[in-house]
A and B are shown apart, each in its own frame.
Chain A
Amino acid sequence: MSEHIMSSKFYYAIWIALLCLTVITAAVSFVDLGPFNAVVALVIATVKALLVVLFFMHVKYTSEKLTKIVIVSAIFWLFLLLALSMADYATRLWT
């Protein structure tokens, strides 16, 4: 893994972006978007999580492929857990 030292300005920029997204997600929850309120909230949360993972956790600058495989696998397992569970619970009322 290369020792990539980013400028502190860059970290402040990510910080400002995260704070703005927090205010946006709180404000937009008061706007009626129908079924898209939950979608927008989750998209914003995922963008924030990506900013933290890629830049604060240095994943974007890691040369170690194993680390990236672990992260992608972990997200895939979580997806399996949620998707297969909902495939059961969300379809029980179907006739």
Chain B
Amino acid sequence: MSDSPIAVEQHGPELLHHFADAEQQRDAAILGMWLFLATEIMFFGGMFCAYLIYRFWYYNEFAAGSRSLDIWLGTINTAVLICSSLTVALGVRAAQMGKRKLLVVLLLLTIVFGFAFLGIKGVEWYDKYKEHHIPGNSFNVDDLVRDYPQLHIDPRHEQIYFSLYFAMTGLHALHMIIGVGLFVFLTYYAWKGRYTPKYYTPVEIGGLYWHFVDIVWIYLFPLLYLIDRHR
């Protein structure tokens, strides 16, 4: 600690003057990101709580709704997100080692995987639109009532399942869209050479965000797609 102005000049432009050194600055940024992710856990937690309560009350309707989803597209989308998490992890590694071109390629691949996920999600939503499974005036689950007579489906309870399905996957997709936007910025600055082995914090905390969104999907997939498939 020194009040000397010379000490202030000794560090590079990426170190803000209120931090003692680059490592402290990086730790603070990562801690801040985790605090944000803690609020995100509670944000999604409210929806998971609503899901839990209604699944407990209306299990049959949740089972029928779950079986009406396309398990293949759901599984493929899970794999797509896992691949995107790999490219993010390898991207952070490339940044740590100062491989600029590799970092740009991996960030671009992540964006491609992000769009692939959103595209497949859009196909699934469009299928639900055609089946009149979107809650609202045209909501109709006569097909499910006919297909699963043993479940004694109440269409009003079925609407709760699909409301939660669209709210949870929609909120998740919104996070994906924000993530893709963040990664476009990261790619641009990575291309410009802003990130070096000494300073790559934006890549790292952007990566934390992306992995978090992946984890939300890791839970959404079994909770929404895999209820009561064995019957």
Q: Spell out A's residues near B (CB within 8 Å).
A: 1, 3, 5-6, 8, 11-12, 14-15, 18-19, 22-23, 25-26, 29-33, 37-38, 41-42, 44-45, 48-49, 52-53, 55-58, 62, 64, 66-67, 70-71, 73-75, 77-78, 81-82, 85-86, 89-90
Q: Are A56 and B38 in contact (CB under 8 A)?
A: no
Q: How far is the CA of A82 from the CA of B49 in the complex (A)?
A: 6
The smallest beta-carbon distance between A64 and chain B, in angstroms, is: 5
Q: List the 4 closest pairs (A to B, CB-CB), nearest first.
A: A74-B38, A41-B222, A29-B226, A29-B229
Which B residues touch A64, using CB under 8 A?
Answer: 27, 30-31
Contact of A25 among B53, B92, B226 (CB under 8 A): B226
Which B residues touch A5, using CB under 8 A?
Answer: 93, 96-97
In the complex, which residues 129-153 of chain B have their Cβ closer than 8 Å to any Cβ of chain A? none
Number of A-B contacts (CB under 8 A): 135
Determine chain A's interface SS by DSSP, over half rule.
helix
Q: Are A78 and B42 in contact (CB under 8 A)?
A: yes
| Range for the number of chain B residues in contact with chain A | 35 or more
Q: Are B79 and A81 in contact (CB under 8 A)?
A: no
Which B residues touch A12, using CB under 8 A?
Answer: 86
Q: How far is the CA of A22 from the CA of B222 in the complex (A)?
A: 9
Contact of B49 among A6, A58, A81 (CB under 8 A): A81
Q: Spell out B's residues near A (CB within 8 Å).
A: 23, 26-27, 30-31, 34-35, 37-38, 41-42, 45-46, 48-49, 52-53, 56-57, 71, 74-75, 78-79, 82-83, 85-86, 88-90, 92-93, 96-97, 197, 207-208, 211, 214-215, 218-219, 221-223, 226-231
Interface centre among A18, A32, A62, A75 (most CB of B within 10 A): A18
Q: Are B78 and A37 in contact (CB under 8 A)?
A: no
